Amino acid sequence: MGSRIVGGTQVSISQYPWQLYFTIGNYMCGASIISNTWALSAAHCVDGFSTSQMLLRAGTSTRGSGGTTHNIATGYIHKSYSDPDYDIAVVQVSNAFSFNSNVQAVGLTSSEPSAGTSVTTTGWGATSYEGSASNTLLAVTVQIVDRNTCNQAYGIITSRMICAGVNGGGKDACQGDSGGPLVSGSTQVGIVSWGNECALADYPGVYTNVANLRSWIKDATGV
């Protein structure tokens, strides 16, 4: 139930300098820089893998090349994680991120955005359901969907989840975007988590709710 960008446009990493390319074994996900040593992603990306199988790439718009690479020293999944609830993980890099115009930490929200708020998600994931990944970074702007409305579609939306999409579908994250950031400006409000296929009408994308889990992030990382 991963996700990637459908209906998006090409962007430069300098516009979203917190975006990370995250490889785990033979899989790809997204992640975001939250400090010079910590990154935020989804539990379902890393669950069952060892840190030696993980690599982060920072500061590049091109999938799998350029920028800087960072091995993972340690990481944590929320102890209550049960797919898809509490879908959050943090990883600490062994070589710190060096901040510049293409590498920056994202802010973390402590208040949930209201329904209708425009938000943007980014990644290199598929551009259609079960399609191929994008070689260049893509972004798509969607709107926060009221939790009750979202729950009518899915029936399992908890307070640890936040939904975003557009009327009629056509814009969404998709496979390969999982773990990547959903931002309002330069503040992260969600983590790409799951959904019904990608960009279907009446089935918004579901994201981990950063505001709800902000205290867990601080406890785990100090950030």
Q: Is 78 a catalytic residue?
A: no
- Spatial contact of 121 and 100, defined as CB atoms under 8 Å apart: no
Q: Is 41 a catalytic residue?
A: no
Q: Is 184 a catalytic residue?
A: no
- Spatial contact of 144 and 190, defined as CB atoms under 8 Å apart: no
Residues 164 and 173: their CA atoms lie apart, in Å, by 10
- Spatial contact of 96 and 71, defined as CB atoms under 8 Å apart: no
Cβ-based burial of 168 (10 A; exposed 0-12, middle 13-18, buried ≥19): exposed
Find the catalytic residue in 3, 61, 178, 193: 178
Find the catalytic residue in 87, 134, 172, 177: 87
Find the catalytic residue in 3, 44, 78, 134: 44
Please give the positions annotated as active site. Answer: 44, 87, 178
